[in-house]
Amino acid sequence: MPFRPNRRAKTLSVLATVAVGATVLVGCSPSQENNSGSPQPATITFAASTLGDPGRGPGLQKLIDEYNASQSTVTVQAASVPYPTFGQTVLTQMGGGEGPDLVRFDMPEFSTAAASALLEPLDDKIDASKLNLIAGPDKYLNVDGHRYGVVFENSNYGMFYNKDLIPEAPKTFDEFMQTAKATTKGDVYGLAFRQTQAEEAGVWQDIYNYVLGFGGDWSDGGKLTLDSPKVIEGLEKYKELYDANVIPKGADAATFRKMFANGKVGMELNNGGYVTATKSANPALNFSVARIPFPEKKQGSLLAPIVINANSKHKDAALDFIQWILKPEQQVKLQEVLGASSVATPTERSAESLEKYPFLPELDKLTESGVPQIVNGFGPQTADIRRIVVTEVLSSLQGQQDMKTAMEKAQKQAEELVR
């Protein structure tokens, strides 16, 4: 079902809070929008955190340069926005009537912007059926019956495993647990995941897979369900692994990913965006990726739509770039730039990519079952709900309360938050 960031008043309050203390770095072009149906000469700005990625940024810039060279009407320029404050900075700009013409948003910022009327509706401009958009992730870009973006990148979560330590991927949770225990010897651990408050956002990403994988969800779209039996069951499985001492406790993601690359961790649940980074860290690493072996065939995904700023004076030019990037040839090139992520439409992997990463089709199969890591119906409040949930879950890990009590407390706090 489509994502519904309701509670508009709360959203606008969140946006106003974000705006405090921030400055406008990038402004939309000042001329007026064209209503003729075809773009007029214009220079527009495109903000994407991917542009600052040392691995993928140059490839994306090359694709933008190719668009600019393909015609003489529109020029796209990269907007320089620092990654650590990307979402906050761009939302602040847009809330002040400015900002880039085009934005590649992560879902929490997308939901805030959509619920705050900061995005241009694309209802009559994007025909999903003609473009063959992949339905699974695309449905989350329709808000209250209106389309506000198309998929730019979708990175699915899978189980990364070291084939030298674990020749065959576990197929069930019991096998997953047994494999983690059997692989843990000396300074080698069977598994790794985040479990500290300092990595709150990362803990949320990790536990999301356990909640979904055991049939739970944070809400039903209109009501929070943090204390539902299935949510608790998934989080108890996460705690079982923690209690089994099969992970390097206290290690942050940067540390245990380095350990994985160096053969000191057997498995981790990670998203396709880290395939290239993992291989770069150790080109000789013999690893593969498989579906997470939990009962329900659902997993988290990092979904990033491309949107048009409602403040833009060149919406027609911005739309022209989106329509260009959605063409089959450009979709293939974009996917090559993004690596193991998927894009808006089905594409075929190149022989070169498949030779390098034979497991890519397995990651691509997960696209339809991926779920963005937001609280459905409460997207703009996700960050605050995340803080509550992670605090209570970690308290349970540390033995201060059982998981059922933790989530009952989280439910009460979150309900107060969203009233």
What are the pLDDT digits (tens) for 96-118?
999 999 999 999 899 999 999 99
More confident of the two residues 21 and 230: 230
- pLDDT 10s digits, 235-283: 999 999 999 999 999 999 999 999 999 999 999 999 998 888 898 899 9
pLDDT digits (tens, 9 = 90+) for 377-393: 898 899 899 999 999 99
Q: Could you state, in order of their start, the residue ranges of all structural domains in the chain?
A: 8-154+301-372, 157-299+376-418
The domain made up of 157-299+376-418 has a fold known as D-Maltodextrin-Binding Protein; domain 2 (3.40.190)
- What is this structure's pTM? 0.83
Q: Which CATH class is domain 8-154+301-372?
A: alpha beta
Q: SS3 string of 151-186?
A: EEEEEEEEEEEECCCCCCCCCCHHHHHHHHHHHCEC
Q: Do domains 8-154+301-372 and 157-299+376-418 have the same CATH topology?
A: yes
DSSP 40-90: PSEEEEEEEGGGG-TTTHHHHHHHHHHHHHH-SSEEEEE----GGGHHHHH
250-255: long-range pairs with CB below 8 Å, 24+: 250/195, 250/196, 251/192, 252/194, 252/196, 252/198, 252/199, 253/194, 253/199, 253/202
